[in-house]
Copies of this chain bind each other. A is one copy, B any other.
Amino acid sequence: MPTELRSPTRTFTIRQLCQEFDCTPRALRFYEDKGLISPERDGMNRVYSYKDRARLQLILRGKRVGLALSEIGEILDLYELGDGGATQNAISLAKFRDRIQALESQRLDIDLAVDVLKESCSRLEDQLRRTRPELLEQPVEAIRPRRLRPGEMRRAS
């Protein structure tokens, strides 16, 4: 059985996807619990297809823009089923339109927030230039190499 590397029939282990997308196995299993992905099984082990990989990508992208997993689920379902009752679809349509509105206004918020942060950066740079100019171009780790504390999450990165 040729595994055909790089072909669309390629499959992935849970850890491969986790490394590629920087998440944990627990998260993937959690998404599966919620019905967002349904990988095949080889015995006990999960086997993710290219389609599964694409779904995961959409899930994470959705998360980053503030969608709840349940909402992401609705979107994903749509791509599989294509329909499931006209009124149900009408509801989805209305919701999606709402979401588009929200996202576009959110993009505005982002622009504003970036402005605020850039302002803050300017202040900080001014201050540092006068006191400790050598700290100006350091990345975070160079200043304080931190580890995640137990329970600490990486949010919205």
Residues on A lying within 8 angstroms of B by beta carbon are 58, 61-62, 64-68, 75, 78-79, 82-83, 86-87, 89-100, 102-104, 106-107, 109-114, 116-118, 120-121, 123-125, 127-128, 131-132, 135-136, 138-140, 142-144, 155-157
Q: Chain A contact residues: over half helix, strand or loop, or mixed? A: helix
Shortest distance between the CB of A67 and any CB in chain B (Å)? 7
Contact partners of A116 in chain B: CB under 8 A: 58, 75
Closest to A90 in B: B135
> How far apart are the CA atoms of A70 and B75 in the complex, in Å?
31
**Which of B82, B96, B120, B123 is within 8 Å of A121, CB to CB?**
B96
**In the complex with contacts A65-B113, A103-B113, A156-B102, A91-B140 CB distance below 8 A:** yes
Tell me which of A94, A104, A157 has the highest count of chain B C-beta atoms within 10 A of its own C-beta. A94
Closest to A58 in B: B116
> How far apart are the CA atoms of A85 and B65 in the complex, in Å?
34
- In contact, B106 and A65 (Cβ under 8 angstroms): yes
- In contact, A117 and B143 (Cβ under 8 angstroms): no
Contact partners of A86 in chain B: CB under 8 A: 127-128, 131-132, 135
